[in-house]
């Protein structure tokens, strides 16, 4: 069977803004002002014209190729500026590639923004039609699905109110409701789930899952790794306009998190930025789930195992070894929490060249965010090994910490430092 | 748009044979207009038109009444200034009617031109987010301004009844005149809109450019005031044939000016052709520079 989407050596170049020349004297600046229209003309014209091999050319995408089979849900990930948005824009025909081509088999609908074409002066009802037709639906199709759309959005009461009086959440809900009822063979979605309240987010994810299970192809761009892992079967990692990794979603997400951390696991064994007597070294750090499968990220309230690989540098047996790790905020490196083996009454003896030491954490009390993990090996109060750049990162997604579906870190205005559980009762003496 | 799903329920598996293939690559050279695709987007055209009309008159007391006030008050001012003070010849009909007819046609022309020329910039948020035939945007300008034209046309009919004037039999040629008007304004609008995406100067130049252009057309004065030797050259402006045609039909100022109208038709078709080809040529860069 032919793939639904075939991308062949696709490239897209943009021109970077050229630096403006500055004048230093009054006469020079007067001259600049006079000839400004000519300069402006040249500059603006260059926005769409290219001279080959110019320094100011920026390749947003460079010779990327991949294909997607029918019914696959492909998660496209990568950091900002990796080329995700450009790729989506080409796939949804908003802009054209500079070279290469894409073959698409089926009707495409793309959702790069929620509520495209909404006009503040029009009512919710009118905007449903406006937005729907912009996304490629016909009036008949919208007529038929109108009740469903309104039902999904939950704004029935305000349907005849101009959208300018809507809250931003209502606008988003209405916009997504329209988009969710498109029925294309290929659906392209960009980071739209980052909006709306939790209940609605869950509804959206559910809807997208439904779409995918209906045999349709979905391309999904997101920074929420948990959403990507939950929805997608395959992943595509972009970096600097190139495909870095393409395959099973867990593998791709894992390499995204690695690529994201320049000084992470792979370099840990070789880095010289470390303190201690180096009788043993921490050479690897990773996260595991209960089945000892590698985890790319975890979530609030999740169970996980932190695994440290220790390499013994000399032949003697090391006993009374204490290991500890600390978790820090990535923004300011402030300490969140710290846990040594000795705190729990556990010391290790290193007999073999390589030993794996694990720490299991239940119901992780950290809110959503990215954390830095530092680790240190001690023996008799002496530092054995301490990689000064840390050993890796811990990516925490929003999760069900309380087991009730309520997500505390999404409900408060400022982000809590940590989560705690408690038991609420009425006080009876 | 035919959907490939016979059954609209979620969970239907698509049959592969129904999927149409589409290739996206860098377009080369001149591209024609995909009329079939444009026809599929007729509903979008409709709602964009509705949107601009509703949005324009939202929260205004007079609403669509402004479409009447605009030409009416301009006509009154011109009647006082050009008719009474400057005593410009009006081919033997009341100056008020003379300039009203000219203005009804001219207002439609200038509104369509300026609205379509800025249609791409004002909808830049759509262009950069969704695919649809870009031609829909300037086309919807024509339709929404067409509504204003209809309203001001009714105003004209009211005054013709008051003055007890009967139209000439050439009334059946009115659609022809309107077609010339549309081809000219849309053609110029397409050209300028494609240019305006990149050069914002167009936006500023347009406002006063249109004001000046009015004096290059027989709106406040009759073509017969132009020296005879230059009249043919003057009639290269398609609006000359249109406005004088309107006056010949409704006011009987002269026999229907077939020669001017034919010249105008030729020029209008040319302008429209250039406009649409330039638009299609520039279309590929819209999303990148808008």
Percent of chain B with pLDDT over 70: 92
For residue B2, is pLDDT > 70? no
Structure tokens at B212: 């000046």
Give the model's pLDDT for residue A51: 56
Q: Which residues, in sequence order, are CB contacts of B29 under 8 Å at separation 6+?
A: none
User: Pairing mode, if any, of strands A99-105 and B21-25?
Assistant: antiparallel
Straight-line distance from the first to the last Cα atom of chain A, in angstroms, rounded to the nearest whole number: 72
B180 pLDDT above the threshold of 80: yes
Nearest chain A Cα distance for residue B112, angstroms: 21
Q: Does position A259 have pLDDT exceeding 80, yes or no? A: no
Residue A29 has pLDDT above 80, yes or no: no
Helix (H/G/I), strand (E/B), else coil: A1: coil
pLDDT at B67 over 50: yes
Could A48 and B285 be called an inter-chain contact, meaning their C-beta atoms sit closer than 8 Å? yes
Out of B51, B54, B130, closest to residue A116 by CB: B130
Tokens (6 digits) for A183: 């029925």
The count of other CB atoms within 10 Å of the CB of residue B251 is 22
In terms of DSSP bridges, do strands A217-221 and A186-190 run parallel, antiparallel, or are they unpaired? parallel
pLDDT for res A125: 92
Confidence of residue B106 (pLDDT cuts 50, 70, 90): very high
How high does pLDDT run on average in chain B? 87
What does DSSP say about strands A354-361 and A369-379: parallel, antiparallel, or unpaired? unpaired
C-beta of residue A3 within 8 angstroms of C-beta of residue A100? no
What's the pLDDT band for B21 if we cut at 50, 70, 90? confident
* Whether the Cβ atoms of residue A138 and residue A181 lie closer than 8 Å to each other: no
- Output the pLDDT for position B112: 93
Give dist(CA B252, CA A415) in Å, integer.
78
Question: What mean pLDDT comes out for the span B144-173?
Answer: 92
According to DSSP, residue A353 is labeled S
Q: What is the mean pLDDT of residues A35-61?
A: 71
Residue with tokens 């992943």: A235
pLDDT > 80? residue A27:
no
Cβ–Cβ below 8 Å for B25 and A102: yes
> Per the structure block, which two tokens stand in for A28?
């020079």
Question: For the ranges A237-241, A276-280, B54-58, which has the lowest average pLDDT?
Answer: B54-58
Is the ipTM value over 0.95, yes or no? no
Per-residue pLDDT at A287: 86
State the Cα–Cα distance between residues B197 and B121, nearest whole angstrom.
Answer: 6
A67 pLDDT higher than 50: yes
Q: What is the pLDDT of residue A192?
A: 60
Top mean pLDDT of A72-86, A212-226, B1-15, B175-189 is at B175-189
CB atoms within 10 A of CB A89: 25
Distance from CA of A168 to the nearest CA of B (A): 18
Confidence of residue A409 (pLDDT cuts 50, 70, 90): low
Closest listed residue to residue A282, CA positions, set A319, A317, A321, A253: A321
Please count the other Cβ atoms lying within 10 Å of the Cβ belonging to residue B55: 16
The closest of B196, B267, B277 to B232, measured between CA atoms, is: B267
Cα–Cα dist A422/A314, whole Å: 48
Per-residue pLDDT at B11 exceeds 60:
no
- The rounded distance, in Å, linking the Cα atoms of A241 and A10 is 10
pLDDT level of residue A197 (50, 70, 90 thresholds): low
Model confidence at A417: pLDDT above 90:
no
pLDDT at B276: 94
Higher pLDDT, A14 or A76: A76
User: Quick one: average pLDDT of A329-344?
Assistant: 84
Average pLDDT over chain A reads 82
Distances (CA, A) of A143 to A56, A121, A127: 49, 21, 13
pLDDT band per the 50, 70, 90 thresholds, residue B96? very high
Please indicate whether, in this complex, the C-beta atoms of A213 and B11 are within 8 angstroms of each other. Answer: yes
Confidence of residue A258 (pLDDT cuts 50, 70, 90): low
- pLDDT tens, A158-172? 999 998 898 877 888
Interchain proximity A94–B125, CB inside 8 Å: no
Better-scored residue on pLDDT, B118 or B59: B118
The alpha carbon of residue A93 is apart from the nearest alpha carbon of chain B, in Å, by 6
The shortest CB-CB distance from B51 to any of A91, A119, A214 is to: A119
Q: How far is B28 from chain A (nearest CA, A)?
A: 11
CA angle B132, B149, B277 (to 5 degrees): 40
d(CA A385, CA A376): 6
For residue A35, what are the contacts with CB-CB under 8 A and spacing of at least 6?
none
> Per the structure block, which two tokens stand in for A79?
């950091």
Question: What does the CA dihedral A91, A93, A96, A102 come to, rounded to 10 degrees?
Answer: 40
Region class of A113: left (phi > 0), else alpha (psi between -120 and 50), else beta: beta
**Cα A380 → chain centroid:** 42
For residue B279, pLDDT over 90 is answered with: yes
**Strands in A192-233 per DSSP E:** 217-221
Taking the Cβ of residue A102 and every Cβ of chain B, the question of whether any pair is shorter than 8 Å is answered with: yes
Specify which of A173-182, A218-227, B6-15, B248-257 reaches the highest per-range mean pLDDT. B248-257
Beta-strand relationship, A294-295 and A304-312? unpaired
The percent of residues in chain A predicted with pLDDT above 70, rounded, is 86
- Give me the torsion for CA of B239, B245, B251, B252, rounded to 10°: 140
Per the structure block, which two tokens stand in for A77?
Answer: 């990930």
CB B219 within 8 A of CB B99: yes
At B27 the pLDDT is: 78
Structure-block tokens of residue A48: 């769409």
Mean pLDDT of B42-55: 89
Rounded Cα distance, B109 and B142, in Å: 9
What local confidence, expressed as pLDDT, does residue A390 receive? 85
Q: Quick one: pLDDT band at residue B267, thresholds 50, 70, 90?
A: very high
Which chain B residues touch A8 with a CB distance below 8 Å?
none
pLDDT at A236: 93
Structure token pair of residue A428: 């009876």
Could you give the CA distance from residue A324 to residue A304 in angstroms, rounded to a whole number?
A: 16
| Among A residues 117-156, those touching chain B with beta carbons less than 8 Å apart | 117, 119, 121-122, 126, 129-130, 133-139, 141, 144
Identify the band that residue A348 occupies on the pLDDT scale cut at 50, 70 and 90: very high
CA angle A390, A395, A397 (to 5 degrees): 160
User: What is the DSSP secondary-structure string of A364-409?
Assistant: --PPSEEEEEEEEEEETTEEEEEETT-SEEEEEE---TTSSS--HH
Residue reference for tokens 């040319």: B270
Of A5-9, A237-241, A290-294, B167-171, least confident by mean pLDDT is A290-294
3-class SS shares of chain A: helix, strand, coil, % to 5: 30, 35, 40
Residue A198, pLDDT score: 63
Q: Within 13 Å and on the Cβ side, how many CA atoms surround A383? A: 9
Interface of A with B in 354-383 (CB under 8 A): none
pLDDT at A388 over 60: yes
> Which residues does A382 contact at the CB level (< 8 Å), separation at least 6?
A276, A277
Distance CA A183, CA A137 (A): 9
A183:B128 CB<8 A: no
Mean pLDDT of A336-341: 89
**Residue A111's pLDDT is what?**
80
Tell me: the pLDDT tens digits for B195-204?
888 887 888 8
Helix boundaries (H) for chain B: 35-40, 42-57, 66-78, 95-117, 119-122, 124-127, 136-162, 174-198, 201-213, 228-234, 238-250, 258-283, 286-289
Return d(Cα A137, Cα A109) in angstroms, integer.
Answer: 9
Determine how β-strand A217-221 pairs with β-strand A234-239: unpaired
pLDDT of res. B16: 41
Q: Decide if pLDDT at A145 tops 80.
A: yes
- pLDDT band with cut points at 50, 70 and 90 for residue B161: very high
> Hey, of B6, B47, B140, which one would you mutate to test binding to chain A, going by the most A CBs within 10 A of its CB?
B47
In angstroms, rounded to a whole number, what is the distance separating the alpha carbons of residues A140 and A143? 5
CA angle A117, B112, B110 (to 5 degrees): 140
| Coil, helix or strand at residue A357 | strand
DSSP state of A126: H
Give the model's pLDDT for residue A142: 92
pLDDT band at A74 (very low <50, low <70, confident <90, very high): very high
Average pLDDT over every residue of A67-94: 87
With 0.90 as the threshold, say if the pTM is over it.
Answer: no
Angstroms from B215 CA to nearest CA on chain A: 28
């Amino acid at each position: 069977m032919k793939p639904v989407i075939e991308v062949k050596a696709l490239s897209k170049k943009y021109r970077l803004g050229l630096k403006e020349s500055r004048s230093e004297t009054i006469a020079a600046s007067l001259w600049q002002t006079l000839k400004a229209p000519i300069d402006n003309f040249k500059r603006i014209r260059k926005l769409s014209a290219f001279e080959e091999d110019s320094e100011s050319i920026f390749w947003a995408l460079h010779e990327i190729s991949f294909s997607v089979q029918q019914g696959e849900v492909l998660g496209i990930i990568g950091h900002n500026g990796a080329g995700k948005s450009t790729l989506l824009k080409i796939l949804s025909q908003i802009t054209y590639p500079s070279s290469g081509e894409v073959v698409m088999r089926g009707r495409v609908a793309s959702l790069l923004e929620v509520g495209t074409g909404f006009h503040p002066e029009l009512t919710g009802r009118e905007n449903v039609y406006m937005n729907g037709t912009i996304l490629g639906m016909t009036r008949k199709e919208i007529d038929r699905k109108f009740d469903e759309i309104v039902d999904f959005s939950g704004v029935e009461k305000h349907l005849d109110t101009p959208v300018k009086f809507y809250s931003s959440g209502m606008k988003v809900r209405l916009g997504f409701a329209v988009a969710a009822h498109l029925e294309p063979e290929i659906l392209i979605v960009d980071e739209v789930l980052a909006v709306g309240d939790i209940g609605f987010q869950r509804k959206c994810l559910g809807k997208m899952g439904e779409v995918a299970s209906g045999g349709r192809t979905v391309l999904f761009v997101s920074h929420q790794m948990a959403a990507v892992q939950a929805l997608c079967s395959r992943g595509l990692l972009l970096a600097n306009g190139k495909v870095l990794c393409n395959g099973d979603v867990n593998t791709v997400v894992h390499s995204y998190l690695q690529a994201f951390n320049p000084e992470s696991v792979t370099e840990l064994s070789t880095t010289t930025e470390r303190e201690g007597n180096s009788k043993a070294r921490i050479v690897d750090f990773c996260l595991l789930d209960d089945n000892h499968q590698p985890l790319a990220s975890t979530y609030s309230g999740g169970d996980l195992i932190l695994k440290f690989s220790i390499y013994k540098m000399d032949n003697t047996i090391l006993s009374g070894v204490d290991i500890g790790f600390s978790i820090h905020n990535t923004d300011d490196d402030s300490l969140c929490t710290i846990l040594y083996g000795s705190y729990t009454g556990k010391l290790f003896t290193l007999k073999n060249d390589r030993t794996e030491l694990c720490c299991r954490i239940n119901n992780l009390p950290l809110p959503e965010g990215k954390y830095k993990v530092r680790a240190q090996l001690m023996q008799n109060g002496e530092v054995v090994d301490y990689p000064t750049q840390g050993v890796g990162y811990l990516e925490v997604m929003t999760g069900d910490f309380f087991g009730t579906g309520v997500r505390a870190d999404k409900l408060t205005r400022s982000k809590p430092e940590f989560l705690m559980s408690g038991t609420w009762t009425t006080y009876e003496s | 748009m035919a959907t490939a799903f016979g059954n609209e329920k979620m969970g239907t598996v698509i049959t592969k044979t129904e999927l149409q293939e589409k290739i996206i690559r860098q377009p080369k050279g001149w591209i024609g207009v995909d009329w079939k695709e444009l026809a599929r987007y007729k509903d979008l055209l409709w709602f964009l038109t509705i949107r601009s009309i509703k949005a324009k008159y939202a929260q205004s007391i007079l609403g669509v009444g402004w479409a009447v006030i605009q030409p009416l008050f301009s006509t009154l001012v011109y009647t006082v200034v050009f008719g009474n003070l400057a005593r410009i010849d009006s081919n033997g009909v009341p100056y008020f009617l003379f300039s009203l007819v000219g203005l009804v046609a001219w207002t439609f022309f200038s509104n369509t031109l300026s609205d379509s020329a800025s249609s791409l910039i004002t909808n830049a948020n759509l262009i950069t987010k969704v695919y649809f035939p870009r031609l829909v945007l300037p086309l919807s300008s024509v339709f929404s301004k067409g509504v204003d034209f209809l309203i001001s046309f009714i105003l004209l009919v009211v005054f013709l009844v008051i003055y007890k004037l009967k139209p000439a039999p050439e009334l059946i040629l009115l659609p022809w005149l309107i077609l010339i008007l549309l081809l000219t304004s849309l053609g110029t609008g397409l050209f300028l809109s494609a240019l305006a995406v990149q050069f914002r100067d167009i936006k500023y130049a347009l406002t006063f450019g249109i004001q000046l252009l009015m004096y290059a057309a027989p709106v406040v004065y009759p073509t017969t005031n132009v020296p005879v030797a230059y009249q043919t050259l003057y009639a290269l402006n398609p609006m000359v044939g249109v406005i004088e045609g309107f006056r010949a039909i409704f006011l009987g100022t002269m026999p229907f000016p077939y020669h001017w109208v034919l010249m105008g038709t030729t020029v209008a078709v040319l302008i429209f052709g250039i406009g649409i080809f330039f638009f299609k040529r520039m279309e590929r860069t819209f999303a990148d520079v808008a």
